[in-house]
Amino acid sequence: MNKYIHKIIQLYTQQPVEGPAQSKFQQWLAEKNFSQEKDEVLFHIWENTENVVTEDTLTSLASLQIKRRIEKERKTFHLQVFRYTAAVALLIAISSLFFLSGKFKHEPALTEYYAQSGEVEKLTLPDGSTVHINAGSWLLYPETYGKKTRTVYLAGEANFKVRRDESAPFIVKSKTFSITALGTEFDVSAYPDDACFKTTLISGSIEVRQNGNPASHILKTAEQFTYHELTRQYSIEVVNLYDVTAWQRDEYIFNSLTLPEVLDALERKYNVSFRYGPNVFNSDKYNFRFRKHSSISCIMKIIMETSGDIDYEKTGNSYHITKKKYKKRDKSR
Domain tally, the chain: 3
17 lies in a domain?
Answer: yes
pTM: 0.68
CA pair distance 110, 153, nearest whole angstrom: 11
| pLDDT per position as a tens digit, 258-286 | 999 999 999 988 989 999 988 888 889 99
Nearest to 12 by CA among 87, 90, 101, 97: 97
101 lies in a domain?
Answer: yes
Do 147 and 183 lie in a common domain?
A: yes
What DSSP string describes 263-308?
Answer: HHHHHHHHT-EEEE-TTS--S--EEEEE-TT--HHHHHHHHHHHH-
CATH of the domain at 146: 2.60.120.1440
CA pair distance 12, 218, nearest whole angstrom: 42
48 lies in a domain?
Answer: yes
CATH of the domain at 285: 3.55.50.30
| pLDDT per position as a tens digit, 229-240 | 889 999 999 999
| pLDDT per position as a tens digit, 10-68 | 665 555 555 566 556 656 665 656 666 666 665 565 445 444 445 555 444 444 444 44
- In contact, 41 and 9? CB cutoff 8 Å: yes
31 Cβ neighbours under 8 A, 6+ residues apart: none
pLDDT band of 76, cuts 50, 70, 90 = very low
